[in-house]
Amino acid sequence: MIERLAIIGVGLIGGSFARALRERGLVGEVIGCGRNETNLRRAVELGVIDRYTFDPAVAATHADVVMVAVTLGATGEVLARVAPVLQPMAVVTDVGSTKAGVLALAREALGSRFTQFVPGHPIAGGERSGVEAALATLYERHRVILTPAPETSATAVSRVQQLWEAVGARVSVMDAQHHDEVLAATSHLPHMLAYSLVDCLVGMSDSGEILDYAAGGFRDFTRIASSNPEMWRDIALQNRVALATMCERFEVTFRYLRSALEQGDGSSLLQLFERAKAARDAYLTRSAKS
């Protein structure tokens, strides 16, 4: 049970967290914090938060749990504002898509309060955003990865883990570096490929006509190229080392494919396609079961 929850950044992710806890009766008061008053007012109307402030320090004062759900670019600043007012037993957590960078920022911004910070990443979301889209069920059966540092308080980790589990998520704990490598592979690289594909087509002289003949496969494949550009710039930069390594690794496979193609080597192409199809079909079976 949380007496006072501070949600810094009341959008889809922060709003859904508040809603999910509230619907399960796990939270007393919810204070929202953001910069857009229309959005904060709407969050009050929707019952996602009880009241709001524009100041992260005001929101965090007397809060037992502070959820930071702002962009990666704003996280350091928010943590620095929150640090001086943090209760000794309070926990702070975040939802950023990269974790090593957030840990470094938090270590600097929080100082002696750093042990109370539990970096987290709920693997959920989608194309919709904003508090209007917030759902009490968003995290059910979704994965959340926590990436504590060696000095992070074990009590704080277990507190945050319990909250995520209470709203239906499946929680894993891993090293921040490993998180960033895993996400570079499954999320960040696919986004780079989708953005690159669309940008590559845009650059062609007959791009308008070309897109007219795109079918459903193209729509699905490029869905993630409609994601927020600023958010993805921040993610790419924050995770640039792991992501650049994955990009290189992808280029090796892709060059192998192109070379098989140029040589008319049907059996190498078939093997690659079969391996990929088998792996994706197995992944679908696993994820449908879990």
Name which of residues 155 to 174 contact a copy of itself (CB under 8 A).
172
Site for a copy of itself, residues 266 to 285, rule: CB under 8 A? 266, 269-270, 272-277, 279-281, 283-284
- Interaction between residue 225 and a copy of itself (CB under 8 A): yes
Q: How many residues bind a copy of itself (CB under 8 A)?
A: 89
CB-CB neighbours of 22 under 10 Å:
20
- Interaction between residue 104 and a copy of itself (CB under 8 A): no
Tokens representing 233?
Answer: 């710039």
Tokens representing 104?
Answer: 């470094």
| Closest among 144, 94, 95 to 117, alpha carbons compared | 94
Q: Check if the beta carbon of residue 71 is closer than 8 Å to that of residue 12.
A: no
Of 39 and 172, CB closest to a copy of itself: 172
Judged by CB under 8 A, the residue of 49, 211, 285, 289 near a copy of itself is 211
* Residues near 182 by beta carbon (within 8 Å), at least 6 away in sequence: 174
Site for a copy of itself, residues 68 to 87, rule: CB under 8 A? none
* Locus of tokens 């845009």: 202
Residue 283 DSSP class: H
Site for a copy of itself, residues 119 to 148, rule: CB under 8 A? 123-126, 142-143, 145
Distance in angstroms (rounded) separating the CA atoms of residues 121 and 138? 14
- Interaction between residue 254 and a copy of itself (CB under 8 A): yes
- Interaction between residue 258 and a copy of itself (CB under 8 A): yes
Q: For 143-158, b where at least 16 C-beta lie within 10 A, e where not — what string?
A: ebbbbbbeebbeebbe
**Closest approach of a copy of itself to the CB of residue 121, in Å:** 9
Site for a copy of itself, residues 19 to 78, rule: CB under 8 A? none
By CB under 8 A, which span of 22-30, 60-68, 152-160, 210-218 interacts with a copy of itself?
210-218
Compute the half-sphere exposure of residue 54: CA atoms within 13 Å on the CB side of its CA. 4
* Residues near 223 by beta carbon (within 8 Å), at least 6 away in sequence: 127, 194
Judged by CB under 8 A, the residue of 25, 150, 215, 289 near a copy of itself is 215
Judged by CB under 8 A, the residue of 101, 194, 285, 289 near a copy of itself is 194
Judged by CB under 8 A, the residue of 66, 248, 285, 289 near a copy of itself is 248
